[in-house]
Structure 1
Amino acid sequence: MAGESALLKWVLRDVLLAAAVTGRADPAPLDRPWPFVLRWTTYIGIGRARFGVVVNVVGVVLTVVMIGGTISLLSDESIRRGTEMSGVTELFIALAVTAPFALRDLHPLAAWRWSFLGTALVDVGGWLSTPYVPWGAITALACVCTVAMRCSRDVTLGVAIFSFAGVWLKDPETALNASILLVPPLAVGYAVRLRQTSRRQLAEQRLRLAFEERRHQDAEAVLTERQRIARELHDVVAHHMSMIAIQAEAAPYKVESIPDETRRDLAEIRATALDALTELRRILGVLRSEDGAETAPQPGLDRLDDLVNNARAAGLHVTTRLDGDLTGLPPGVGLTAYRILQEALSNAMRHAPGSQVHVDASHADGIVWLGVVNGPPANGQPPGPGLPGGGHGLIGMRERATALGGDLTARPTPDGGFALTANLPVETPSRARDTSTPARDAT
């Protein structure tokens, strides 16, 4: 029962009502390309014009010819039969049944509806041997063919039902011949539409395949470049860091008596080099992976003591003040906070060796607050060289903070030192994406 109701609803709404009132035809742009069989017209000049314009101009000319032919036919038949028909009536009949031919390219459904009503209402049985005006029948068949080419299957089915029903209701004696004449334009028009639809779907499929191939090529190029960078890092940077670690470990054994402080410094150099190698291996793993996803555990504020100890070993006098839970932060927040503090302490080592540094980190009210303030270089030590490239470390830190919805400020202090502050929201509405793998490493 439900199936029958759905079928009836489909027939009434999507077929008959669409054909009569609500249906729409596919647009036909005026600048569409010429058909292949007509491209020879380029050599005589006509083919250089827009095909849609030529079609409509030819349609108007043929419509004028058919209107004149219809008026002439009706006039001759009325005279031959001895019946009077006014010129106004002849013009009305000619316009009613042939004028839709001029509209069939731009508005095929409207042209068919006009032709259907005109053919249904006009009866010339008293003047002609058939109830149909010849040029009107040709117009009706042309409109049916155009509808089949430019409308959906449901609309075309509705037009066919109305057309077949119309010829049987108008004149049962000629209905069989009229029905046979309706079949070829419907079949040809629908076949043309199927061919156009198939070509369009094939073109869209080729476009999708080309897009996928281009995306695959781009991804392959990115992966190849990352692998090249990984090889360079491995062959150059990793080699040098390994040599630093080996030489720092072997140096105490080359000298018979070496101060304990120097021995500790060499041990710190070796430990720092090994840490750098560990980080480098992690980065190489990311570069060599197909999707670039981080797989190794990321550092967080739970490793803040290591940062501070390394800074102290490098000669900085570091004091810390920690407040709140700094170990249970989300991975993205913890990593960003760690990298900011790491870069700030590295800058202090380079630009203010031996200075007093105060590190402040707290977690309260859903915000992680960071502060690093260092004084001027101690004991008149000259500051180290500036960062290559104009201070990209600060830019990277600011980008990391902004990515989490926070902010970062860095400014010199009146005593010749430097102060850096940052606040990082632990949970923000804007953090819709995963920030555990920042796009840029501040270090």
Structure 2
Amino acid sequence: MHRLHSAAAALGRWRRHVLAVDAALAAPVVLACAVLDAAAHDGSYRPHTLVVSLGLTVPLAWRRAAPVVSAAVIATFALYQVWGLYTALVSDVAVLLSVYALAAFAPRWAALAGLTLAVGGASLAGWAFFGPDGGGDPYQALTAGVVMTVLALTGGTLGWARRQRAEPLRRLGRRPAPDRGEVDSLVAALTAWPRAHPFAVDAAGAGLLALVTTLPTLGTSLTGTALGLALVVPLAWRRTATAPAAAVTAAAALAQLALSAEFLAADVAVLFTVYALAAHAPRWARRGGLVLALLGAPAAALRYWSSTGAANTAAATAFMAVLVVAAHALGVVRRARDQHVEQLAERARLLELERANEARLAATTERQRIAREMHDVVAHSLSVIIAQADGGRYAARSDPAAAVAALDTIAGTGRQALTDMRALLGVLRQQPGSELLPQPDADRLPELVESVRRSGLDVRLDATGTPRPLPAGTGLAAYRIVQESLTNVLKHSGPASRAVVAVRWDPDRLRLEVTDDGRGAAALTSDRGPGQGIVGMRERAALHGGTLRAGPLDGGGFGVSAELPYPRGS
């Protein structure tokens, strides 16, 4: 692993020397193209050929360091080749590399201009090299122009894919792009039907290609027409049945080598098939198709160009091999794009599920919180009201004043419960900017103890330490724990019981303790069970990082003790 890391570090250092790396890579290309072009053109054309060959390939040395300047030099010599030499060169591969470099490394305007110039130059070059002036005919010029246009688009597409891989790094620190919602919606609407009906689109494309490539052979060569249709028609299934369609095309290409004495325009279907295999077929089909197409390049060159010399045969082999590799590369880019889109769709689906689960969990948590609040408010208030009503009923005959006091306590407790209920329900109806009534906190513990004392329970408050302000959540938890504990005393401790509420303001936490001397242990072990009061108190304490213990005391009675740590910085 250490050697691998060292090698990776060395490669990383070389990436900083862009000009040196590109010059080293361009040197063998310059030498090979110059030798092949010089060997293919003898006599007085050789000096001009060497000049054009060097002018096309040498600027590749700064294709990344200065892509616009490099492309301008290459374009100048390419135009001179079209109007001065009237012949194709092996060095023309530099045009494709220049288009790639512009799309990958140059500004967007330069990339668009270079691709436009290359596509336009493909038509001029096809006519100049393969038309009547170049010893051919208009049909050959059209075919050559189409092939060179496809090559130019291939180079631009590969370069654009390289740019897209590096685009996230270049976007860091930029302002967000303007909203393109309407444009994206229009594009999606225009592309929806073709995506939903791939066979119809492919069949239409195959029919058009068959018409263009086989029309010149009608009436002149029945074998050429049949082979052309056999090559092109399977393209209608290039996405729906990629491997079988490629097998039919491969069989037709092998039959052409054996039966046809001329190269067919329909052979462009081989490139579309290689592309389709790389984009849509399984791995074994992709690799098999690429290997078979690469083997077919020298076989076709030997079959149709061997009579023109070894240099032309080698140039034709290299040219067709480059076409095959370019088609395969385009298919790989398309496959990677489709996989990326699928991954984005799957990620969006998972995020949607996660968002729904989070919303469901938040709703459940909110229902539990509301249930705890409802239990604290209703249970405490009703316990006080019931105790006061029972006491007032017995005291009404002998002590009317005590009965009136009990009714006052019932009225006050009911109003307080109504206020708490309105505040609680207000959370459910909360609108942006609305303000709720303040929730009770630890500062109101004396009022709570006094209200319980008025209900008839002998309760005493012992507070030690210096009170300090608490966050709303911690203060509410302290108030509710004491309130629920006293409510349990009222319900379960029995008559003539006494309770003590101890509040200790320690330096690091608030300690609460509620004890009574009644029969709380017996009530807790009754058939009704402990209920949800103690569970709710324990959850409140844990929510704020505290602890709560509850259970019977030695010698009788019941006790609840809680510790709520102060938040940091409070």
Structure 2 length-normalised TM: 0.39
Greater relative contact order structure (CA < 8 Å, 6+ sep):
1
Structure 1 length-normalised TM: 0.48
